């Protein structure tokens, strides 16, 4: 997204990185490098996702940190990576679909909004919100089945989890789910996944765009003085740009996590609980899931795992966005003209 922001209080011009749109990218390099970079990021953040999932689904067994130490003590570090192989296999195509939908939508919506006479900042926020919404909806076609399988592997063996099957690996889980519920079993919680991730992504990308404008407008001028200065122009160095992107991403991640946490908890429980119990009775509906949560711990039960999710989303957002912006620059066809002017 465009980091350009206007600073009317100063006569200096701040040259900050311009956005690299879809047409400027070398697509083959973009997808190959993206798969490698994001696989590494996913591996680093996976333990936090696993612990968040276990807290959402199982009855409370103490703090998340205590649960993580208990899991490592019994199973070793590999216990924190249950289902990672399955998750990684699905994440690569899902991420490719997500990035394509995001960049194409941002480019088209941004141009359309600018043509209507809106300011660049408003056009950027709108393009990011619509791009995030579209990308999340497209990627859920792949991510939902991956979530259903990998999350069941994550919580396997947890105390307090009833009607749980035992799975040897991701393929075994896939086979048993399809045999029990058909292909639709892989899309349990698809509707609420859309309701969770579509607005979450829209909020995140819009918040990210607004946060960047606020950071550049509020402290950007002062921080940029450490950069390369020539006359009335200030050109922030790469470390300053990455710091602004990281802070903006962390703020956006926390806001998005807080807003969508109840939906994420409900979605996770719907996806993990078996479609039928031993008596052939169907699994709980969305309404029943909410009632069960409230009965277990009041409305605050909908926020179980908020700490790990906020931490995971903030770390993920910071890491992902700096990696993503770095990826776009590595994949650009022309490395000249990366700076836009803001005065």
Mean pLDDT of 221-229: 51
Residue 84: how many other CB atoms lie within 10 Å = 21
Mean pLDDT of 208-216: 83
At 134, the pLDDT band (50, 70, 90 cuts) reads very high
With a pLDDT cut of 70, the percent of the chain lying above it is 79
Q: Which of 81-85, 204-208, 229-233, 284-288 has the lowest mean pLDDT?
A: 229-233
Pairwise CA distance, residues 55 & 163, whole Å: 17
Quick check: helix, strand or coil at residue 173? Answer: helix
Mean pLDDT of 74-98: 88
Complete DSSP assignment for 74-86:
HH-GGGGGTTHHH
Distance of CA 298 to the CA centre of its chain: 27
The residue assigned the tokens 């289902």 is 83
At 7, the pLDDT band (50, 70, 90 cuts) reads very low
Query: Is the pLDDT score of 3 beyond 50?
Result: no
Mean pLDDT of 171-189: 89
Mean pLDDT of 32-55: 85
**DSSP H helical ranges for 217-305:** 221-224, 238-272, 286-297
**Domains of the chain and any CATH numbers:** 82-187 (no CATH), 189-331 (1.50.40.10)
Query: Is the pLDDT score of 12 beyond 60?
Result: no
CB 6 within 8 A of CB 328: no
pLDDT for residue 225: 53
Tokens of 132: 């995030």
**Mean pLDDT across the chain, nearest whole number?**
79
With a pLDDT cut of 90, the percent of the chain lying above it is 9
CB 16 within 8 A of CB 334: no
Higher pLDDT residue, 105 or 336? 105
Q: State the distance between the two ends of the chain, measured CA to CA, in whole angstroms.
A: 18
For 273, the enclosing helix (H) or strand (E) is: none
Pairwise CA distance, residues 218 & 215, whole Å: 5
Tokens of 297: 């711990």
Query: Is the pLDDT score of 255 beyond 80?
Result: yes
Mean pLDDT of 105-119: 89
Among candidate residues 63, 40, 14, the one with its CA nearest the CA of residue 236: 14
At 178, the pLDDT band (50, 70, 90 cuts) reads very high
């Amino acid at each position: 997204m465009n980091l350009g922001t206007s600073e009317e209080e100063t006569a200096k011009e701040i040259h900050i990185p311009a956005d690299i749109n879809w047409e400027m990218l070398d697509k083959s390099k973009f997808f190959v490098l993206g798969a490698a970079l994001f696989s590494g990021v996913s591996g680093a953040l996976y333990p936090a996702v696993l612990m968040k999932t276990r807290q959402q689904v199982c009855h409370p067994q103490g703090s998340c940190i205590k649960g993580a130490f208990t899991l490592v003590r019994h199973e070793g570090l590999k216990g924190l990576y249950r289902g990672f192989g399955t998750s990684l296999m699905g994440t690569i195509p899902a991420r490719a679909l997500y990035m394509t939908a995001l960049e194409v939508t941002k480019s088209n919506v941004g141009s359309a909004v600018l043509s209507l006479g809106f300011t660049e900042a408003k056009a950027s926020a709108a393009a990011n919100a619509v791009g995030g919404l579209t990308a999340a909806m497209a990627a859920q076609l792949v991510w939902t089945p991956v979530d259903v399988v990998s999350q069941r592997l994550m919580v396997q063996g947890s105390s307090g989890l009833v009607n749980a099957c035992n799975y040897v690996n991701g393929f075994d889980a896939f086979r048993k789910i399809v045999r029990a519920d058909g292909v639709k079993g892989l899309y349990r919680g698809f509707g609420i996944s859309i309701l969770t991730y579509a607005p979450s992504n829209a909020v995140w990308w819009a918040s990210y765009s607004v946060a960047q404008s606020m950071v550049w407008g509020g402290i950007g001028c002062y921080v940029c003085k450490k950069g390369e200065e020539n006359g009335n122009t200030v050109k922030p160095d790469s470390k300053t740009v990455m710091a602004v992107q990281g802070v903006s991403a962390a703020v956006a991640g926390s806001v998005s996590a807080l807003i969508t946490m109840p939906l994420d908890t409900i979605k996770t429980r719907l996806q993990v609980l078996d479609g039928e119990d031993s008596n052939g009775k169907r699994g709980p509906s969305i309404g029943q899931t909410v009632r069960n949560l409230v009965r277990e711990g009041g409305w605050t039960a909908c926020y179980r795992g908020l700490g790990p999710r906020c931490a995971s989303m903030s770390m993920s957002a910071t890491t992902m966005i700096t990696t993503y912006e770095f990826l776009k620059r590595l994949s650009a066809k022309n490395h000249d003209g990366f700076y836009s002017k803001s005065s």
